[in-house]
Each structure stands twice: as structure tokens, then as C-alpha cells.
Homo-oligomer: A and B are copies of this chain.
């Protein structure tokens, strides 16, 4: 086979099949040198690195899983931001399964900044991580592509919902959750039910809204878009959204907030107006964060199985490191209504 020019096409049946020995031969370097490049070490001249990386990229090189007993395995668990209230729940689920498998969990945040994402990618290569669990849908396509070329298995944990990706994804049943929350309020006798919705750019917001709407229609209650106010999942927007609902000429008797944090904001808005939960207004959240068991009152909410989602993501990424296929490319774990003290039948107006 003649040496290929830079950027030459590699027939698809050859991609991912070539050995590191063949890459070393074509690059005119030793196998250990190729290995140093693959593992991101810096003791390689820039020219050699560029030549080897070009070949690795063109052949869609996949690293083989580390031989048993070699260097301990590492997983990278990457968040947009660690101030997300569910970060620790996901870390807990991931760590438990990874630890049991003897795999270390490296936690990072890339803060939605592309500089940080590049830096993270460089570190990922340098530590020769065996797999990546991404808790975001926001990784830049170019970095996503780099991961693919490095052959590092990737699984996305996706509480926010995202368009179909070409990687395995673990999500939650957002539509059913929205429906369950609303059906609970309908069953208590509420007919005017407000919704503090999530950011429209996230599919999970749309799914929860559609679930709310489906429940209303199922009960023969007409959808009224003046009862839907926008939010961004943060408490402040729940406060503002609930205040807007209270200012309507005919306010609702119950509110479904599409996140627990917005539900806490809503409860505070009610408290400031001297209104009691659930006597004057019922409130349902979405997430079941640990702290809402002790909100005042304890919150009725839709449980997202965040730790379970983390666990499933690890099992999937470990399958991929063994070159096994995941059970399904996209899995949605079920959500569940948890009834506590923030919901009750509507007050009978005298």
C-alpha cells in the first residue's frame, strides 16, 4: 500500500481496523511513539505528533480496552456546571457503580465555555480516560467528533432532553411525568391549573408541557394558554411566574412547576402574599431533589431517577469499553409521582 497524502480518503471498510503497528509503519515512527501520542503525552516532537494524529484521525482509530491488570480504569463525568441541583445525585449513581467496577470517576465542569471544553479534552487525552459520561447536550460538535476519533466511548445523561444524538443517551420520561403531575391535580378537583414551564429550547420543557396538556384534554378541561407562564428552571423564575399567575383576573387554584426549584420559588411567592400551601393553592414540582422532602410544606413532585440514570450510564459506557453494543441507543427511565403535603383539593369558594 502506498503512503497516503495528507487528508487522503480512507475506504470505510479500513477505518477502525488498522493496528497501531500499521500506523507506526506509515508514520515512520516506533510503536511506543504512537502510543505516547494516543495517551496524550508531551514527550513527542510536534511534527511527529501531527503526522501520527493525522493517521489516527483518518483511520478512525479506536483504542483497545486496557488489558486487565494494567493501569486502573478511569471514567470522565462531565457537567456543564456543578451548581446544577441534580449534579450530586448523578455523581452518586455514577460513583457507586464505577467504584464497584474498580473504575475511578473524574468529575469536571466545562461551564459552557469552549476554552474549558478544549482544556478538558486535552486533559482527557492526557489521562487516557476510558470513557466519558456527559451530563449536557451542549458539547460542541467538533469536540464530540474528536471524542469519536479518539475512540473514547461516550454516553449522554440527559435530564434536559435533547434531539437524537448518534451516541447512547439516558433520559427520563418527561411527558409521562408532566401528565402524572397534572392528573394528580385534576383528581383532587382542580380545574384551573397553572403551569410554570421550562425553557422552550429544551425538549424536556416541551415534553412536560405536552404531558400537562394531554392530561387536561383527557379530563375534558380546555387548555388555556394564559395559565402557562415561562420559567428557566431556577427558583427566581418560579417566584416571578407564580406572581404573574396570582395577578391574573382569575388566578388558578393549583400550579404545576416544571422543576422543583421553580416550585420552591412559587411557594415563596405565595408566602409573601400571605397565601398558604396547600390550603389556598396547591403546588407540584418536578425532580424530587433531596431538599424538597423538607420544604415547607414537603413538596408533592415528580421523581426523576437521577441516581439510576447515572448508574445506567456507567453500565452502558463500561459495555462500550468492552466493545459491546448498548441495549438500546436511547433509554428513558420512568418518572414517578411522589405525593407529599403541598397538594390538596381546591378551597371551596364561599
- Please report the C-alpha to C-alpha distance between residue A275 and residue B82 in the assembled complex, in whole angstroms: 36
Contacts of A119 in B (CB 8 A): 99, 102
A105 touches B106 (CB 8 A): yes
- Give Cα A108 to B92, complex, Å: 9
Give the distance to chain B from A132, nearest Cβ to Cβ, in Å. 12
Asked if A246 is at the interface (CB within 8 A of a chain B CB), the reply is no
Q: A107-B91, A116-B99 are in contact. Are A83 and B265 (CB under 8 A)?
A: no
Could you say which residues of chain B place their CB within 8 Å of the CB of A151?
A: none
Contacts of A72 in B (CB 8 A): 40, 123, 126-127
Say yes or no: A293-B126 contact (C-beta < 8 A), given A71-B41, A109-B99: no
Number of copies: 2
Which residues of the other chain, B, contact A109 by a CB distance below 8 angstroms?
92, 95-96, 99
- The minimal Cβ–Cβ distance linking A316 to chain B, given in whole angstroms, is 19
Assess whether B268 is in contact with A291, with CB atoms less than 8 Å apart: no
The residues of A with any CB-CB pair to B shorter than 8 Å are 39-43, 69-72, 74, 76-77, 82-83, 85, 87-88, 91-92, 95-96, 99, 102, 104-109, 116, 119-120, 122-123, 126-128, 235, 261, 264-265, 267-268, 271, 289-291, 293-298
